[in-house]
Amino acid sequence: MAKQTFIKNAWYVAAMAEEIDSKKPLGRKICGESIAFYRQTNGEVAAVLDFCPHRGAALSLGYVENGLLVCGYHGLKMGPDGKTQAMPLQRVQGFPCMKSFAVVERYGFIWVWPGDRAAAEPDLIPHLEWAQNDDWAYGGGIYHIKCDYRLMVDNLMDLTHETYVHASSIGQKEIDESPVMTEIEGDKVFTRRYMENIMAPPFWQAALEGNGLASDVPVDRWQICRFTPPSHVMIDVGVAHAGYGGFKAPHNKKASSTVVDFITPETEDTMWYFWGMARNFKPHDKVLTAKIQQGQGDIFREDLEVLERQQENLKNFPQFDLLKLDIDAGGVQARRIIERLIDAEIALQNGALNNDDAPLATITF
């Protein structure tokens, strides 16, 4: 039996809010669970196993009617609790109840808890200040990537690759010429890199100009990556006119943002990647937001082929072990935290199976 590779008792971003409308369900696999998401009559999102108990059809191929999910094969109607409600000319009250999932709509995202529903606590959803503050603007998107989600964590916790993969946008030689510092704080991992008195690369030149600042002068640049379980990475990035304090420079001397990375496993070797950038300068400039969103999307798209080919290589060449350098420390430490929390989750689940009175397992991040 293959070892579990992702934490299940945790909140993951399953979709962007606009992906789920009032009439059509959305089918998506999260941590190996096939889930049908749909909106009820009150607008709240429900999530049930994407499996019709009648003939096994995918409920996500159906439609929504009066707050119930209707199977598009024979018309079975299912409620948000996974219980069959009705079916034309059939007695279905004895049908088994399908699995339902804890789901919350917050910050413009749909969050799902793929594990034990009774253990799900909405307060464990991470707080996103930029999503509630009018001083911030956000633009993002979603990619489906054919790779182990942990490869994306590795990618984001070591930004040395920017020099090579993103040479035309955010990459520059000073990145891999500057040391990276790695720190662990509880279940969080930080990697930090600072570059002083350099010229900004094209993307950040455009960001400086977007904030009304000169782009042809030396800058101080920073990259501060933060991993939190189960697989979220937030990155504080930016440039400031040199000599004004870098990361701590006043707003009128810098262009800074938070790169948002919600990494959601689909299977052991595929994932959903919810990417975006939140910025706190000129937040009401929609043209600037769209321009940055396009730029970020193009940058992240450059990673896709690299990661998917890396996944293929790891499967095709299992005899090779991956080498670890100091620049890999952030990803290595993140993986250790993931593995430790998975082991703890499995141990608690096994304990509950052996003791009917044992408390439900949950992990607080």
The pLDDT tens digits of the residues spanning 31-57 come to 999 999 999 999 999 999 999 998 899
Q: Which residues pair with 33 in a beta bridge?
A: 30
- Distances from the Cα of 100 to the Cαs of 64, 115, 137, 140, in angstroms? 16, 10, 34, 28
Q: How far apart are CA 23 and CA 62, in angstroms?
A: 9
Percentage of residues of the chain with pLDDT beyond 90: 84
Is there a contact between 176 and 159 (Cβ–Cβ < 8 Å)?
Answer: no
Q: How far apart are CA 224 and CA 236, in angstroms?
A: 5
* Global pTM value: 0.92
Q: How far apart are CA 90 and CA 71, in angstroms?
A: 14
Residues 6+ apart with CB under 8 A from 37: 14, 15, 20, 25, 26, 27, 28, 45, 46, 47, 60, 103, 110, 112
Tens of pLDDT along the chain (365 residues)?
578 899 999 999 999 999 999 899 999 999 999 999 999 999 999 999 999 998 899 999 999 999 999 999 889 999 999 998 877 877 778 888 889 999 999 999 999 999 999 999 999 999 999 999 999 999 999 999 999 999 999 999 999 999 889 988 999 999 989 999 999 999 999 999 999 999 999 999 999 999 999 999 999 999 999 999 999 999 999 999 999 999 999 999 999 999 999 999 999 999 999 999 999 999 999 999 999 999 999 999 999 999 999 999 999 999 998 888 899 999 999 999 999 999 999 998 887 656 554 433 333 32
Containing 211, the helix (H) or strand (E) segment is: none
Q: How far apart are CA 238 and CA 122, in angstroms?
A: 32
Q: pLDDT at position 265, please?
A: 98
Q: How far apart are CA 133 and CA 87, in angstroms?
A: 46
Domains of the chain: 12-120 (2.102.10.10), 128-334 (3.90.380.10)
Determine how many CB atoms are found less than 10 A away from the CB of residue 63: 15
The pLDDT tens digits of the residues spanning 312-331 come to 999 999 999 888 889 999 99
Is there a contact between 330 and 182 (Cβ–Cβ < 8 Å)?
Answer: yes
